[in-house]
Amino acid sequence: MSLLLEGKRAFISGGTRGLGAAMCEVFAREGADVAFSYQSRDDLAEEVAGKVRAHQRRAHPFKVSVTDRVGMKKLTRQLVEEWGGVDVLVNNAAINRGDNFATTTDRSWDEVIETNVGSLFAVTKPIYRQMIRQRKGSILNITSVGAIRALPTSVHYATSKAAMIGFTKCLSREAANFGISVNAIAAGIFDTDLAHTLPERLLQMHEFWVSKGRMGRPEELAEYAAFMVSDRNSFMNGEVVIIDGGAVT
């Protein structure tokens, strides 16, 4: 049986940590060349690139903000010139802040919304336009169960992740005309740096309300993500799949 992503060219935003790093490695293992963005840690970028290359696949780290519209256009042009295009896009980069809504500052609100929502436009549009030209592609957005359920997470974070669900569903109808699928994963709490910004009381409660009794491992989400963006998942579009360890609703 062939690899899930044999010959695919993928771009993953926020690829040096947590879910993003896990997807970079799993996608490479499944046959994809992997480009990814990162914000600051050159050492982590080289580590992830090394894991991709260990699977005999091409790696291309880009040190660029996901809110940099000009930078993302340049990145896309470079990947088209060097790799011929992008087949898979994963919008993964996100930030959170442990704020109560009543004390949320203007700066904190703007930072979370701009990073988590503004990046959807900056990252997706140039890559989507070249997917239209090649008449194929798969876009996967990593949202959160906090966008769906009344969990004790930050309001600005939940708002940004709910926007991602609307983005997924609406774009999926337009994109289908060009052979492009758009889906999302609503992630529960995984063992990542982002999860550890959550209040300690929430992490303690988590093991009681999740039937698996633990946080998810990043590679567990990455394995399913690889299937979702593969050609074997050919009839799913505009869907939001929950992966949260069986949380009580």
The secondary structure of 49-81, three-state, reads HHHHHCCCCCEEEEECCCCCHHHHHHHHHHHHH
Residues 6 or more apart in contact with residue 138 via CB below 8 angstroms:
87, 88, 89, 180, 181, 182, 183, 228, 229, 230
- Shortest CA distance to 110 belongs to which of 156, 165, 164, 163? 156
**What are the residues facing 144 on neighbouring strands?**
187
Q: Is 157 a catalytic residue?
A: yes
The C-alpha atoms of residue 71 and residue 134 are separated, in whole angstroms, by: 22
What angle is formed at CA 45 by the lines to CA 163 and CA 92, rounded to 5 degrees?
Answer: 15
38, 128, 157, 224: which one is catalytic?
Answer: 157
**Residue 11, amino acid:** F
Local structure of 153: helix, strand or coil = coil
Active site residues: 157
